[in-house]
Copies of this chain bind each other. A is one copy, B any other.
Amino acid sequence: MKFESTSSKLLDDAVEEFAKLPGIGRKTALRLALFQLQRESEEVNMFCKSIFDLKDKIKKCKICHNICETEICEICSNSSRDETLICVVESIKDIMSIERTQQFNGLYHVLGGVISPMDGIGPSDLNIKELMGRIEDNNIKEIIFALSPTMEGDTTNFYLYKKLAKYDVDITSIARGISIGDELEYTDEVTLGKSIMLRTPFDDERL
């Protein structure tokens, strides 16, 4: 549906641009555009500048492809982290999620996506060669797969597993099971089934 246009092309253009953002519909886009219109010019300039700078100045870490403002990201250049451990994630957002848990002290490797033939994303579009390079050039002991438990994530896990089999590294995957706080009654069958198959020795210290 083409949204009825406002009386101004400039406003239409701004609404159009806001509506391209994920999760922003036409009504919200109009609200955001009108909000910009009634703000002080200085505030709008700061808004535009922050986004422009973000795109213009931010770099990808040469090692793990995390975002950074220098050549090497804060995590890769932090000597207190365990350099023998690499956690493979889909995107930088996942790094943020895992960092928030404060349960991981190794390094990361951002694939930049998962294998998804439907979206035209093949293995060559991902940073897989770079991962293999890191394993070859460094003393890596363990690679942890931390991709989403979707079909695409599993396909990518499987592909990576085959590719990395030739190296002398442990390959592990983050645990899948019932989320903490979930009730069995409402857990979907596949997750519940997997959680039985992948049961772990009972350890009261982990509770």
User: Which A residues lie at the B interface, using CB under 8 A?
Assistant: 4, 6-11, 13-14, 16-17, 20-24, 28, 30-37, 39, 41, 43-48, 50-58, 66-69, 73-75, 91-93, 95-96, 99-100
Residues of B within 8 Å of A93, CB to CB, are 30, 34
Show 26 A/B contacts (Cβ-Cβ < 8 Å), sorted by A. Answer: A6-B67, A7-B66, A7-B67, A7-B75, A7-B95, A8-B67, A8-B68, A9-B69, A10-B53, A10-B54, A10-B57, A10-B58, A10-B69, A13-B53, A13-B54, A20-B43, A21-B32, A22-B31, A22-B35, A33-B54, A34-B91, A36-B51, A37-B54, A37-B55, A48-B48, A48-B52
B57 and A51 form a contact (CB under 8 A)? no
Q: How many copies does the complex hold?
A: 2
A46 and B17 form a contact (CB under 8 A)? yes
A14 and B75 form a contact (CB under 8 A)? no
Identity of the chain B residue whose Cβ is nearest the Cβ of A43 in the assembled complex: B20
B34 and A92 form a contact (CB under 8 A)? yes
A36 and B7 form a contact (CB under 8 A)? no
Identity of the chain B residue whose Cβ is nearest the Cβ of A31 in the assembled complex: B22
Closest 5 CB pairs of A and B: A14-B54, A17-B50, A44-B55, A48-B48, A13-B50
Identity of the chain B residue whose Cβ is nearest the Cβ of A100 in the assembled complex: B4
Given A53-B13, A54-B10, check contact A28 B32 (CB 8 Å).
Answer: no
Q: Which of B23, B24, B36, B53 contacts A54 (CB 8 A)?
A: B36
